[in-house]
Amino acid sequence: MKDNITLIGMPASGKSTIGVMLAKYMGKNFLDTDIYIQNLMGDSLSNLIKQKGLVEFCKIEDQTISSIMVKNTLIATGGSVVYGVNAMKNLKLFGTIVYLYSDFEPIKQRISSLEKRGVVHRPDQSLKDLYEERKLLYENWTDYTIDTNGKTPEAVAFEIMDIFP
């Protein structure tokens, strides 16, 4: 049964904030995959990315999320989850994928440092380049796209709830 709802989108698009609200409103469990990985690995995302490197971190993320087996759960993912084909297939198999779309400017305003935030990116990659690259991946995997621009997290949560009677 596909009773999970998975939120994907850029870092700072509101996945965790909206996810907690949705889980509460809908009576679902809540899982933040970034926190799950940090607890499993015993370190922050930014340190893991520095120590392991981008490729190895993405492998860890893909393996970890592809092994998650939960029911009736609202899952907020890290923005880089879409690089992991196995992870995305697992999330799609057991749930519905919702892409929280945000224009670039609000994301740029919310992210002061890619490194401190623990955002997976190549050293030569700007936030704008990362945004454009991931936007296509999010669009590829999503079942529903919710435009978050100019909306409060609560308004976005209610809009998502309208999809799931």
Domain 4-163 has CATH 2.40.50.140: no
Distances in Å between the Cα of 56 and the Cα atoms of 93, 99, 121 are: 24, 25, 13
- Domain residue spans of the chain: 4-163
pTM for this entry: 0.94
Segment 80-128, tens digit of pLDDT: 999 999 999 999 999 999 999 999 999 999 888 777 777 888 888 889 9
Strand arrangement, sheet containing 95-101: 29-32, 73-76, 4-8, 95-101, 144-147
Q: Provide the percentage of residues in the chain whose pLDDT is more than 70.
A: 99
